[in-house]
Structure 1
Amino acid sequence: MLTEQGVLRASILITFVVAAFGIVFGLLSGSFSIAFDGVFALADAAMTTVALGVSALIVKSAQSDALSGKLRNRFTMGFWHLEPMVLGLNGTILIMVAIYALINAILSIQGGGRELEFGYAILYAATTLVVCLGMAFFDWRANRKIESDFLKLDIHSWLMSGAISAALLIAFLIGYGVEGTRYDWMTPYIDPAVLAIISVAIIPIPIGTVRQAVADMLLLTPADLKEHVDQVARDTVQRHGFLTYRAYVAKVGRAKQIEIYFIVARNGAARRLEEWDKIRDEIGEAIGDESYNRWLTIAFTTDSEWAE
């Protein structure tokens, strides 16, 4: 269970249950905000399912016999590039759903609000709040060892859903308390008002994930990783008497793609291939993070044009 795929499967199952629960109680209570919570959860579950598939492909691509020959031949560079695509799409969908809900909330307020059954609404909000916080804590504990971007996004999604449920619970309790009082006129506006507030709060949250996903898809170089690779390359140049080097670094989802070209002197002393391999091993150890998520290419040449 405490693997990335296992945690995502559990999250998907619970999310679908919460989504169905929200849609049903949204219809029973007449609350668009509850129905939106259910639709939000449904969209999140669909994208988490896609994330699970991508995660499984990335892990299997590191195993020599886990993928079919046809699939491996078509994706010889691996599946890491799919991860930022999924993360970016997930974040974008959550933003668009929240914008749609905000527009509907404003239209509802302009139309005089809507009546709802506060008893059903309070029961739903309290139940989902407990579930969301429980799943966020479960994901967080698991991800302390797994360190997955997919699970980080899933934690954010559960926290967002929990924040929605908490806001709904507070609003519905207020609405239930003012029913039959001189403030009873407020009750039709409670549902669209809380929906508008929640939507405005949700919209900025996935922006960071979308920004990072776009950076990964554009192969932007992480400054800290480039500095580390440059330091290792400079030390190697000095230690072995090379002329210079060229380093190319990118982060694609969980993968680090590193290419280093060392320019050596023409007519230099000959070295056996085993010696060059030993230098590569030294560089690889100095760079660190030797796992299936590191794509490291090291080349030696006397022609600098090969390194450009």
Structure 2
Amino acid sequence: MAIGFHHTKEKTLLRVSFYVAGLFVFIALGFAFITHSAAILFDGAYSLIAFFMSLLTLKVANLVQLPDDDRFHFGYTAIEPTLNLFKSIVIIATCLYAVVGAIGSLTNGGIKAEYGYAIIYGVIATTACFAVSGYMKYQSKPLRSDLVAVEVHTWFVDGVLSASILLGFATAYGIEQTRFAEYASFIDPVLLIILGLAILPVPFKIMLDSLKEVINKAPPESVTAVIEKRLKQTLIAVPYQHVEVRISKSGRDIYLLVHIIVDKSFSVATISELDDIRIASETAMRQWDPAIIMDILFIANPALAD
């Protein structure tokens, strides 16, 4: 089974994410200690999760490049959506925990933070997170890696989180200079609630997409229709009644089980002629999309394709 492509560049990008996430843990936790801000502490916790998830992602990136063996007959690519599913659940749990904690802080009178230092953190974190996300997205364009795609989303969400923190603390700093200064302490927990709820749709989408792959659900009709059309173009010289295609996506691989219900006029002299058809079809499909892996069966009885 052919596994992956551009794996060296993929690992390089994942290492960048890993090392920068580790740096951000120290920066965020340091500023959280200085500013006494729960929102920055949450951002630090998010970075800590990203750090450990990046470590796991690097391990999985190595595994998915391995060929199939006696333990994993279809290779290791199924680990990819499983990891993404796990990562999304952890992020969702972190967001919900932060929201609950922020609600508790609100009922206790809010949180007084050092907004000047918090603004400095917001500028640094926002710039860095969007820079990493943009760099990884640009560099990963030729790749077909769900692992890198999830990292790009993670850094983008962290950038939105940091930008919101920056905006909120700038607002709180301004309020402190007015006669409404007593309300500034509510900005931090309110901001944390808004952020925690606002970023939930991203990990929820990743969770649902990954779950579909884990349970082996077929890709959307818009995707399968294009694949089937391309496949039939590679079989134009083969007399057939019908082509039945079953499609599943597991990580970076798209698996096609193809039943060709041959016409009565179809005949071959040797098995090698069938192999030639298979090779020509799969080569054409993989030139179009290198992620495709195919098994082709030739049958005369349509019932065998059910």
TM-score range, shorter chain: 0.7 to 0.9
Aligned-residue offset at 1:163: 1.3
Cα displacement string for residues 10-53 of structure 1 (whole angstroms, at most 9, x for unaligned residues): 11111111112111221221111111100011112211221221
CA 76–292 in structure 1, closer or farther in 2 if over 3 Å, else same: farther
Q: Which residue of 2 aligns with 1:143?
A: 140
Cα deviation, residue 8, structure 1: 0.7
Q: Which residue number in structure 2 is paired with residue 66 of structure 1?
A: none
User: Per-residue displacement from partner, 1:69-109 (whole Å, max 9, x unpaired)?
Assistant: xxx32112101111111111111211111111111111111
Residues 128 and 230 of structure 1, relative CA distance in 2, 3 Å threshold:
closer
* Separation in 2, partners of 1:233, 1:186: 64
What is the match of residue 218 of structure 1?
215
Work out the CA distance in 1 between the residues paired with 2:303 and 2:289: 30
Give the alignment of 1:132-281 within 5 angstroms.
132-222=129-219, 223-231=221-229, 239-264=237-262, 269-281=267-279
Give 1:295 shift: 2.1
TM-score using structure 2 length: 0.88
CA RMSD, Structure 1 to Structure 2 (Å): 2.5
Q: Identify the residue that residue 4 of structure 2 maps to in structure 1.
A: none
Q: 2:132, 2:87 → 1: CA distance?
A: 19
Deviation per CA, 1:126-145: give whole Å up to 9, x if none: 21112112111211221122
Superposition map of 1:1-308 within 5 A:
3-61=9-67, 72-222=69-219, 223-231=221-229, 239-264=237-262, 269-289=267-287, 293-304=291-302, 306-308=304-306
Structure 1: gaps spanning 5 or more residues: 63-71
**Structure 2 portions without partners, runs of 5+:** 1-6
Q: Distance in 1 between matches of 2:147 and 2:208?
A: 15
Between the aligned residues of both structures, percent identity stands at: 24
Tell me if structure 1 keeps the 8 A contact 2:81–2:210: yes
Greater shift after overlay, 176-185 or 21-30?
176-185
> Contact 2:15/2:58 (CA < 8 Å) preserved in 1?
yes
User: Is the 1:237–1:262 contact (alpha carbons within 8 Å) kept by the matching residues of 2?
Assistant: no
1:43 counterpart letter in structure 2: I
Are the counterparts in 2 of residues 237 and 244 from structure 1 also a CA contact under 8 Å? no
Q: Is the 8 A contact 2:66 2:76 kept in 1?
A: no
- Would the aligned equivalents of 1:228 and 1:287 in 2 still touch at CA under 8 Å? no
